[in-house]
Structure 1
Amino acid sequence: MSVHPPLAFYAPLKPPTHPNPSGDRLIATRLIHTLGLAGFNVELASTFRSYDGKGDINRQRRLSEIGNRLAERLIRRYRALPSAQRPRIWFTYHLYHKAPDWIGPKVCKALSIPYVVAEASYAGKQQRGPWALSLKATETALQQAALVISLNPTDQEGVGQLVPSARMHYLAPYLDLTPYISPSKTTREVLAARYNLDNNRVWLISVAMMRPGDKSESYRLLAESIRLCEASNVQLILVGGGKSEKVIHQYFSGLSHVSFTGLLTQKELIPLLQAADLMVWPAVNEAFGMSLLEAQACSTWVIAGGEGGVASVVHDGESGTLIPARNTQLMAKTISAFATSPERLSALGEAARTTCIKRHDETIAVTRLRTLLMPLATGRTV
């Protein structure tokens, strides 16, 4: 048996090779890297997207047919390989009724290998809804799973309807902290000139894609909070781009000291996160929010809406301040309180970084995944 057991990785919602940046793509890419560090030889099994955002039964049937054909093709390919090169485990990231896994369960049954899912959710109310077919596939996959790894604690109740607790495990969202904790060579003065920022103000930063739905609503609530904010010394920095840019720009019309940077690479973003005084984000229906974690790693205190799984990455009073969901008045008051006492922010930022290192470093995830998965792949405990 291989020293590094082969592992087939699949992300039905969005493959890690997808051209559009998103939290899903980031997490998929990070999981592949971490699984490699945990001792697996990771192969991307397929880039097939099973996503149906409209509840179109005909589209779901077509996706099911394509998925079944791809599964049969993979089975033939894997069986043609020498035994040591065949996958010892299948790992599906992000499974739910809008993006079911039509491939993995079938391959696992044919090869008699364990099926593992990370970040699954289950909405039983869809049993008679427009995604009923895809929901049934999700149910089948979860019931077959040897392990279900949760990155968002709020998903565990729904998934627990199908999966025994002994097969459910939590993995805290994580980052390779190295690039975030390394001091930036780009000074605040340089950043102020580059992005047209007022260096004498308290810098508030938000990082999110500008797309319709929850992200757009979060931006709208943020604009409302800034309008209600009594502090007159803030500079808002909005990092992101997407289909809703024009609409989101309009939300902030008439507000002074608001800068839109557009999409930034990680290398461009990190100096801004390190230079910012506060990260602010309403986080409407946020699964957890990787940018909130990135800010903490950069020693930036977070003010966020306590919605979805945000509390799993923003530890209230330790690495940030959680606001009741969609409460713009309290968000505004909290921003004002911190902005009018900027001398506190450096110490709070360091506390956020310390908490991030303690709870969300990639090395913790490497050990956790190795402990959970290696026995399944090799038959030996770690």
Structure 2
Amino acid sequence: MSTIAFYAPMKPPDDPVPSGDRTMARALLTALEGAALGDVRLASRLRSRDGVGDAAAQERIFEAAEREIELLSAGPRPDLWLTYHTYYKAPDLLGPRLSRQWGIPYAVIEGTRASSRLQGPYARFAKAAETACDAANIIFYLTEYDREALERDRVPNQRLARLRPFLAAETLPPWQPRPWSDTFRLLACAMFRPGDKLASYEMLAEALALVQSQAWSLNIVGDGPARGKVEALFSRFADRTTFVGALDQDGVASQFREGDLLAWPGVGEAFGMVYLEAQAQGCPVLAEDRPGVRDVVRDGGWLVPANDPPAYAKAIDMLAIDIDGRMAAGRRGRDRIAVEHLLPAARATLAAELSPLLAERRR
């Protein structure tokens, strides 16, 4: 039986802190384990992420990677190394070296190139991410935006394959009509973290201040270190806003089943697992038109220009009275998720693309 070494340099799938990356890593493990490709094992829990561009931190991570390579080199050799998400803030420092040393295929899911980062505080990490992409026999891209850069810099004999982002579910539960309410029930769902998440909350709060409709409410699902800042942003809407807190997967799904619209701008989202989760429950989406996000918000929602709070507010006002439009978008989005963004579709793609690499290895 073949053995696949799985590695997620940004965050291991068993990390205790929830995030879209962790969700996707877990979904990938589930898909791989059901794809009849062989035994899948977690190769390492080494995290290579540097979120601020700190040269000293990067040096420590490189040193830790050298120690990890030495340790793994003494262990059993897998038949294929598969890395999920290598990019300039969290490059794969293990897979390229070990794959070359062992003489095995190297595959990457969501490998991204950022040539603009080859200068500046991330230069060393960006170069390592480029090295990982160059070393890969195959790179699975999740968005059209990533494909363009990968195609531009693709090395000879490297294959690119599309893998649509997906949820770790075989099927969707039966359709359930949304409970009636005379209030337009908005949802926001994300961790309270500085950076892109906080920027999305800031944009949403700015847009809500411009909304003309009075018949709306907002449930905010999430928690985190920036809680105080998020609470302050929505304090002017205290009578309309409920901070639900962090919920497990079932709790989040329940919120989406009962809500009328996921209002999440999506600043800096690679694609946004939350958009898939909402549409799976028939909850339509309002997002900003950004690369990656537009790949998953198609039939099941609306996209407005980025960094345009008045346009976002206008869309909320329009959707507040368009009940039929919301219902139709919810059904369309759910249908799309069922066909393209669940485990069966992901397994089929992974099996079709990885089987030849494993077969060649067995020769």
**TM category, shorter:** over 0.9
User: 2-side partners of 1:54 and 1:226: how far apart?
Assistant: 31
Identity %: 37
**Corresponding residue number in structure 2 for 1:330:** 311
Greater alpha carbon shift after TM alignment, 229-238 vs 56-65: 56-65
Tell me which residue corresponds to 2:240: 257
Asked if the contact 1:177–1:297 (Cα under 8 Å) also holds between the matched residues in 2, the reply is no
Structure 1 residue 116, shift from structure 2 partner: 0.7
Partner of 1:246: 228
Of 182, 191, 213, the match for 1:209: 191
Partners of 2:193 and 2:113 lie apart in 1 by 24
Q: Does 1:65 align with 2:43?
A: no
- 1:157-168 → structure 2 map (5 Å cutoff): 157-164=148-155, 167-168=159-160
Query: Do the aligned residues in 2 keep the contact of 1:231 with 1:340 (CA within 8 Å)?
Result: no
TM-score by length of 1: 0.89
In the other structure, the counterpart of 1:83 is none
Q: Quick one: which amino acid aligns to residue 162 of structure 2?
A: Y
8 Å CA contact 1:374–1:380 kept in 2: the answer is: no
- For residues 44-123 of structure 1, the aligned pairs below 5 Å read 44-78=42-76, 86-123=77-114
Gaps of 5+ in 1: 79-85, 190-198
Aligned CA distance change for structure 1 residues 48 and 220 (closer, same or farther; 3 Å): same
CA displacement at 1:343 relative to structure 2: 4.0
Q: CA deviation at 1:281?
A: 1.0
Deviation of 1:62 (Å): 2.2
- Residue 137 of structure 1 and its aligned partner are, at CA, apart by 1.8
Give the corresponding residue for 1:352.
Answer: 333
Question: Secondary structure at 1:122's aligned position in 2?
Answer: coil
Q: How many residues align?
A: 359
Residue aligning to 1:193 = none
Residue 277 (1) aligns with residue 274 (2) = no
Q: Are 1:319 and 1:356, in contact at CA under 8 Å, matched by a contact in 2?
A: no
Deviation of residue 68 (structure 1)? 1.7
Which deviates further from its counterpart, 20-29 or 249-258? 249-258
- State the alpha-carbon separation in 2 of the partners of residues 132 and 348 from structure 1: 43
Please state if 1:17 is matched with 2:17: no
Which residue pairs with 2:127 in the alignment? 136
- Aligned-pair CA distance for 1:161: 4.1
Per-residue displacement from partner, 1:140-159 (whole Å, max 9, x unpaired)?
22111101111122122333
- Write the distance in 2 (CA, Å) between the matches of 1:380 and 1:125: 36
Deviations 1:113-167 (A, max 9, x none): 0111111111112223122222222222211110111112212233334324851
1:341 and 1:55 mapped to 2: Cα distance?
A: 45
Match of 2:353? 372
Q: How does 1:271-350 map to 2 (within 5 A)?
A: 271-315=254-298, 318-350=299-331
Which region of structure 1 is more displaced relative to structure 2, 14-23 or 175-184? Answer: 175-184
Q: Which stretch shows the higher mean deviation, 364-373 or 150-159?
A: 150-159
Report Cα offsets for 1:245-292 as digits up to 9, x if no partner: 110111111213111101000111111101111111111121111111
Q: Distance in 2 between matches of 1:200 and 1:122?
A: 47
- Report the secondary structure of 1:332's partner residue: helix
Tell me how far apart the structure 2 counterparts of residues 214 and 332 of structure 1 sit (CA, whole Å): 20
Instruction: Provide Cα deviations, 1:220-253, integer angstroms capped at 9, x if missing partner.
Output: 1111111111111111111111111110111111
Secondary structure of the residue that 1:205 maps to in structure 2? strand
**Contact 2:170–2:342 under 8 Å retained in 1:** no
Query: Which segment drifts farther, 330-339 or 59-68?
Result: 59-68
Cα distance in 1 for partners of 2:51, 2:199 equals 18
**Partners in 2 of 1:10 and 1:132 — Cα distance?**
23
Task: State the one-letter code of the partner of 1:42.
Answer: V
1:142–1:162 Cα contact (<8 Å) kept: no
Query: How big is the shift at 1:24?
Result: 0.5
Equivalent position of 1:218 in the other structure: 200
Shift of 1:183: 6.1
Note the C-alpha offset of 1:188.
5.2
In the alignment, is the contact (CA less than 8 A) between 2:31 and 2:347 conserved in 1? yes
User: Aligned AA for 1:237?
Assistant: N
Alpha carbons 2:24, 2:167 under 8 Å: kept: no
Q: Structure 1 residue 177: deviation in Å?
A: 4.0
1:190-209 equivalent positions in 2, closer than 5 A: 199-209=181-191
CA contact (8 A) 2:279 2:334 kept: yes
Q: 1:361 offset after TM fit, Å?
A: 2.2
Shift of 1:376: 0.4
Q: Which stretch shifts more, 68-77 or 340-349?
A: 340-349
1:233 counterpart letter in structure 2: A
Structure 1's 325 and 115: CA in aligned 2 closer, same or farther, altered over 3 A? same
| CA RMSD across the alignment | 2.1
Which digits, 9 at most, give the CA deviation of each residue in 1:289-335, with x for residues without a partner? 111111111011111111131011000xx211111112111111111
Alpha-carbon shift at residue 58 of structure 1 (Å): 2.7
Q: Is the 8 A contact 1:72 1:107 kept in 2?
A: no
Whether contact under 8 Å (2:172, 2:338) holds in the other structure is no
8 Å contact kept, 2:139–2:159: yes
For 2:294 and 2:286, locate their aligned partners in 1 and report how far apart those are by CA, in whole Å. 11
SS in structure 1 of the partner of residue 243 of structure 2: strand
